Amino acid sequence: MTTAIAPRSRKVRVLATLGPASNTPEMIATLFQAGADAFRINMSHGDQQSKVAVIQAIRGLEREFVRPTTILADLQGPKLRVGKFDGGRTMLESGSTFVLDRDETPGDATRVELPHKEIFAAIEPGARLLLDDGKLVLRVTDHGPERIETVVEVGGPLSNNKGLNVPDVVLPMAALTEKDRSDLAFAVEQGVDWIALSFVQRPEDLAEARKLIGGKAALLAKIEKPAAIDRLEEIVEMCDGVMVARGDLGVELPPQTVPPLQKRIVETARRLGRPVVVATQMLESMIQSPSPTRAEVSDVATAIYDGADAIMLSAESAAGAWPVESVAMMNSIGISVEGDPMHGDRVHFTVMRPDPTTADALAEAAKQIAKTTSATAIICFTTSGSTARRIARERPSVPILVLTPSKETARRLGLLWGTHAVHTRDVESFEDMVGKAKRMALRTGIAKAGDRVIVMAGVPFRTPGSTNVLHVVHITGDELRDYS
């Protein structure tokens, strides 16, 4: 038995990470009903085979709830780590000298192996090396091809294989490791909708992933390296969407700089018409507590007021004690914030200037006409999803019903602000377009008898990128009876 889920009453999307606490078919369905619009599969944990059943369970929701599902596979990326210590750990004293070298001998309080030759080639005197998520700070004083000498600025305990961050230089390392290439091929074979690429430092880092994906999924760039900020606009232009990965940004940059950077990344993505996800530690306390802190709720609300397309749960839904409650809380915050009479004004603090194209002009006009005529929805017909992205970029005050003959497009739109996608056959004529728009508006509950809706499409039909029609439609309520 199928039970169609009505369009969400909020426009911001909720992206939930799956993990040990939430990867059963029953829990995935519960999270979907609680408000999850898309699911993130973290390729850093577990093997590929264990993820097959998870992907199948997500796809199974389409049959149960008659709605496209959205899957994002998040690649691990390069992981920089120091070597091992004699006895498993040591203590670094502030002010002492510490050396990182290519010697595999277990380290001590004076030195340790650094098994990443790329760092030796790129490092410069004065650069910082951050250990154990930034808890320890080293400053480079001298370096060579086999040795980096540092002074310990912030000391503390250090154990085997702890992570290393190098925030002050661009490392000559590919964003894809051999593991990532294998995971990417697996994800594409399984038909996921989005691939998230870690360790992006420059636009060129996206090229290999784009080639390997081969158009079979959308590419999302995680902005987590300071070097990426320097070339942010170029990176956003090269990808299909971006993620504000605040955890890693907060390690490599002073934490007080992350909020303005978040706003800058969101603004850039919105201006260039790319979906943007705000992620990391949004409801962190809900890993252990059934309720978030007031500060966390305000943090989520800020991302929604800024106009982010999606807000993401990490460990809260993947490994926490309250996965359903964390998704439900995200859903509730979205509904509450968007119910604020000032929400629309705040979302439009970011000024969108349409490109000089017919499609962009019509998308801007659709937003204004919907407001002036009190229309209840904007309905668009699209094959590639570009029309939906153009409309969502304008952040209209009404929901966007997307009708597409492409199942892949319908699925990818799960990360796009304000959209409810329906996979349906293409239209053949103008009259067919108007009739289908009316019927789908009634069937989904996005409009009712007496409402006006705005319809956008391209003529000739079945021609991607040809959006050139905007039509105001009045729904009488007879459309479903006339079609039966």
Q: What is the mean pLDDT of residues 91-106?
A: 96
Of 312, 307, 374, the closest CA to residue 343 belongs to 307
| pLDDT of the residue at 53 | 96
Q: What is the mean pLDDT of residues 290-299?
A: 98
| Confidence bin at 461 (pLDDT 50/70/90) | confident
Can you spell out the DSSP letters for 155-218?
-EEEETT-BEE-TTS-----S--HHHHHHHHHHHHTT-SEEEE-S--STTHHHHHHHHHTTSSE
Distance CA 474, CA 454 (A): 9
What letter would DSSP give residue 7?
P
pLDDT at 471 over 50: yes
**CATH number, position 367:** 3.40.1380.20
- Is 265 among the domain residues? yes
Q: What is the mean pLDDT of residues 415-426?
A: 95
pLDDT at 176 over 70: yes
- Is 49 among the domain residues? yes
Whether 291 and 391 map to the same domain: the answer is: no
Q: What is the pLDDT of residues 216-268, one digit of tens each?
A: 999 999 999 999 999 999 999 999 999 999 988 999 999 999 999 999 999 99
What letter would DSSP give residue 36?
-
Distance CA 327, CA 15 (A): 9
> Given 59, 79, 81, 210, which residue is catalytic?
81
How high is the mean pLDDT of the chain?
93
> Given 280, 419, 444, 467, which residue is catalytic?
280
| pLDDT of the residue at 359 | 86
For this structure, is 67 an active site residue? no
- Is 232 among the domain residues? yes
> Given 11, 67, 162, 222, which residue is catalytic?
222
- Is 160 among the domain residues? yes
| Confidence bin at 469 (pLDDT 50/70/90) | confident
Distance CA 84, CA 158 (A): 10
| pLDDT of the residue at 246 | 94
Report percent pLDDT > 90 for the chain. 86
Look up tokens 């040809």; give the residue: 466
Distance CA 69, CA 306 (A): 25
- Rounded to two decimals, the pTM is 0.92
Task: Give the 3-state DSSP-derived string for 415-453, with helices as H, strands as E and coil as C.
Answer: HCCCEEEEECCCCCCHHHHHHHHHHHHHHHCCCCCCCEE
pLDDT at 300 over 90: yes
pLDDT: is 355 or 312 the higher one?
A: 312
Distance CA 153, CA 139 (A): 7
| pLDDT of the residue at 1 | 47
Tell me if 22 sits within 8 A of 29, measured CB to CB. Answer: no
Whether 64 and 114 map to the same domain: the answer is: no
From 165, 191, 206, give the residue that closes a domain. 165
pLDDT at 468 over 90: no
> Given 8, 11, 13, 40, which residue is catalytic?
40
For this structure, is 222 an active site residue? yes
Q: Provide the number of structural domains found in the chain.
A: 3
Q: What is the pLDDT of residues 341-385, one digit of tens each?
A: 999 999 888 777 777 888 899 999 999 999 999 999 999 999 999
| pLDDT of the residue at 5 | 65
**For residue 295, what is the enclosing H or E element?**
helix 294-305
What letter would DSSP give residue 85?
B
For this structure, is 40 an active site residue? yes
pLDDT at 319 over 70: yes
Whether 475 and 380 map to the same domain: the answer is: yes
pLDDT at 35 over 50: yes
Of 160, 141, 150, 200, the closest CA to residue 176 belongs to 200
From 340, 372, 399, give the residue that closes a domain. 340
For this structure, is 425 an active site residue? no
By residue range, what is the domain housing residue 116? 89-165
Whether 245 and 265 map to the same domain: the answer is: yes
